[in-house]
Amino acid sequence: MSFLYKADPARGAVWARLFAQRAPETEFRLWPDVGDAREVRYLAAWKPPEDLNALLPNVEVVFSTGAGIDQFDLSRVPDHIPVVRMVEPGIVEGMVEYVTQAVLSIHRDIFAYAHQQTMRQWTELAVMPASERRVGVLGLGMLGQAVLSRLKAFGFDCAGWSRTPRHVDGVAGYAGYESLDAFLARTDVLVCLLPLTSATRGILDKRLLGGLPRGAWLINVGRGPHLNQYALMALLDSGHLSGAILDVTDPEPLPPSHPLWAHPKVRITPHIASATRPETAVEVVLENLRRHRAGLTMIGQIDRTQGY
Ligand code: GLV
């Protein structure tokens, strides 16, 4: 029984070492060294090979090496094969760190001070209590919930929106599209942690961002195609929005000529907010292999009808 890894080779080498230690009975193969393809039962990939079915006829489970599944062409994965996204503690911790630093930087005017420094200007700005800063997270999966729990501990006024009702302790919950406007109207810092699906592509558009109060901020740590980047720049230029922190763009990498790079109210990081940590992820994958053999649902197994 073999497990095939098809993603970044350097990270793959770490996975290989961890598998050798933690699951020596499973033969670990690194793409493109597929070996006898008929022996491959499990595939972990950022993107599965296009001809998956022909290439790996006996695959039983396909794992995404990332939290998102939007980079998969699900029509190429036969219906009977479960698809599992990466839901693991390391990726959650990284995302909590990134969003926390982004919200705190906005909250404590770090960008305004960076601008003042370019002018050698020593001017204090009033500090607003966290309890008066209204943070709203779009998407209440594992990542959104963990981010809100941490921000809540800083005292921010927190709310979350999700398609179907989800409860997070101490956080105001909004569910369904009919409650979206009310959620936006109370949000000064909007964090996007939605999955990218046909329903959420382009969701951060002129109408949605225009529904935020004047002076609001956007943090996009979902996917670049969630956001209409030109609508964002128009709302920044008009002064409706104060700024945006984007860890994801469309396309990636963002071409050097793209106007987002030079926009004075935009901060960009190159999709580094969080990544799967092999050391913690391998435990989840091994648990999922046990679950699969026992006929149980796996952690992170997607619902194909929803696309996540
Ligand atoms: C990264 O964006 C991931 O999906 O893990």
Q: What is the pLDDT along the chain (308 residues), one digit of tens a residue?
A: 899 999 999 999 999 999 999 999 999 999 999 999 999 999 999 999 999 999 999 999 999 999 999 999 999 999 999 999 999 999 999 999 999 999 999 999 999 999 999 999 999 999 999 999 999 999 999 999 999 999 999 999 999 999 999 999 999 999 999 999 999 999 999 999 999 999 999 999 999 999 999 999 999 999 999 999 999 999 999 999 999 999 999 999 999 999 999 999 999 999 999 999 999 999 999 999 999 999 999 999 999 988 89
Q: List, for residues 189-198, the tens digit of each pLDDT value.
A: 999 999 999 9
pLDDT at residue 212, rounded to an integer = 98
Domains of the chain with bracketed CATH: 2-88+276-293 (3.40.50.720), 89-268 (3.40.50.720)
Give dist(CA 262, CA 245) in Å, integer.
13
Take atom 1 of ligand 1 and give the residue whose Cα is closest. Answer: 66
Is 133 known to be catalytic? no
Is 271 known to be catalytic? yes
Contact 254, 247 (CB under 8 A): no
C-alpha distances out from residue 145 to 60, 247, 248, Å: 31, 19, 20
Q: Is the CB of 94 under 6 A from ligand 1?
A: no
pLDDT at residue 1, rounded to an integer = 81
Most informative mutation of 91, 92, 269, 277 for ligand 1 (most atoms within 8 A of CB): 91
**Which amino acid is residue 246, in one-letter code?**
L
Within 10 Å of residue 254's Cβ, how many Cβ atoms?
19
Q: Is the CB of 68 under 6 A from ligand 1?
A: yes
Give dist(CA 114, CA 181) in Å, integer.
33
> Which DSSP letter does residue 297 get?
P
Most informative mutation of 71, 88, 192, 276 for ligand 1 (most atoms within 8 A of CB): 276
pLDDT at residue 29, rounded to an integer = 97
Contact 197, 151 (CB under 8 A): no
Catalytic residue chosen out of the listed positions 166, 271, 291, 304: 271
Within 10 Å of residue 124's Cβ, how many Cβ atoms?
8
Q: What interhelical angle do 278-293 and 9-22 show, nearest 10?
A: 60
pLDDT at residue 153, rounded to an integer = 98
Q: Which helix (H) or strand (E) holds 149?
A: helix 142-153
pLDDT at residue 307, rounded to an integer = 86
